[in-house]
């Protein structure tokens, strides 16, 4: 759902320059709001746990998205328990996806991210304080530790979110899902909450610099229970089907991005 297609369609010239300047202003404005949150985390975080600050964080994330030109419309196809820990599985197209999900998800939410993300200035500090789980995908011992840490988190009624495609989709199609997230959910008998993020490729094409004003649908699908599940391929396909049911197209492994 795109409302500002013309400036970006015209490559070069005044229209293209205006579009780039507008994107830069939106990024700077949202970055300043995130910096306010980071300062609050530094000052208050010594005394107040992240879980208690979550409502404030959600308000901050919504402000960030609005100044970025992104209007998030949640769509509930199920009812979720605020006190239960879920494994949120979502399609991934933009750096903003985690903020979109966290801005509306019920209960406290932690992210699972690459360990390299911890090196990003300010962001890395905030996510460490927040409690996000960082993994080194090339280290088997770290993967085992990550599963153990995730188990402890879910047992406390805290949810975690994972993008099982492994990388951002540039064209908005939902790529094949890696099995790691589903193996973890089955090992912990944790419920999976599939979520579709629809429209992000219109407001943030290629998941990079450009930002357009537009609307993103955040669709929460019925939960998939994992107790007694033995077939990980069938589980991954079921979750992917639910995510795609919100109007998203598939990209198979042998198709070009």
pLDDT at 208: 73
pTM of the predicted model as reported, rounded to 2 decimal places: 0.85
β-strand pairing of 214-220 with 70-76? parallel
227, 199 in Cβ contact below 8 A? no
Q: One digit per residue, pLDDT tens: the chain, 257 residues?
A: 444 444 444 445 666 788 888 889 999 999 899 888 888 887 887 788 888 889 999 999 999 999 999 999 999 999 999 889 999 999 999 989 999 999 999 989 998 777 777 778 777 778 887 888 777 766 656 666 666 777 778 888 899 999 999 888 988 999 999 988 898 889 888 999 999 999 999 999 876 778 889 999 999 999 999 999 999 999 999 999 999 999 999 988 767 55
- The helix (H) or strand (E) run that includes residue 76 is strand 70-76
Could you give the 3-state DSSP secondary structure of residue 24?
A: helix
The domain defined by 5-244 folds into Glycerol-3-phosphate (1)-acyltransferase (3.40.1130)
Ordered by start, the domain boundaries in the chain are: 5-244
Integer Cα distance of 2 and 172 in angstroms: 14
């Amino acid at each position: 759902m795109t409302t500002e297609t013309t400036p970006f369609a015209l490559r070069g010239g005044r229209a293209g320059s205006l579009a780039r300047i507008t994107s830069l202003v939106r990024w700077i404005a949202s970055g300043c709001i995130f910096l306010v949150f980071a300062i609050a985390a530094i000052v208050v975080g010594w005394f107040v746990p992240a879980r208690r600050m979550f409502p404030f964080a959600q308000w901050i994330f919504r402000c960030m998205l609005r100044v970025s030109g992104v209007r998030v419309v949640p769509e509930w196809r199920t009812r979720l328990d605020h006190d239960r820990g879920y494994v949120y599985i979502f399609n991934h197209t933009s750096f903003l996806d985690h903020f979109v999900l966290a801005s509306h998800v019920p209960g406290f939410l932690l992210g699972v991210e690459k360990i390299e993300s911890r090196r990003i200035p300010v962001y890395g500090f905030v996510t460490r304080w927040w409690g996000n789980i960082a993994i080194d995908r090339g280290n088997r011992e770290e993967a085992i530790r990550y599963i153990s840490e995730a188990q402890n988190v879910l047992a406390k009624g805290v949810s975690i979110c994972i993008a099982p495609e492994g990388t951002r989709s540039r064209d908005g199609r939902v790529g094949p899902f890696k099995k790691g997230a589903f193996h973890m959910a089955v090992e912990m008998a944790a419920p999976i909450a599939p979520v579709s993020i629809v429209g992000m490729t219109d407001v943030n094409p290629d998941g990079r610099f450009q930002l357009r004003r537009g609307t993103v649908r955040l669709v929460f699908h019925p939960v998939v229970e994992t107790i007694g599940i033995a077939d990980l391929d069938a589980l991954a396909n079921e979750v992917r089907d639910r995510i795609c049911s919100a109007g998203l197209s598939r990209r198979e492994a042998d198709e070009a991005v």
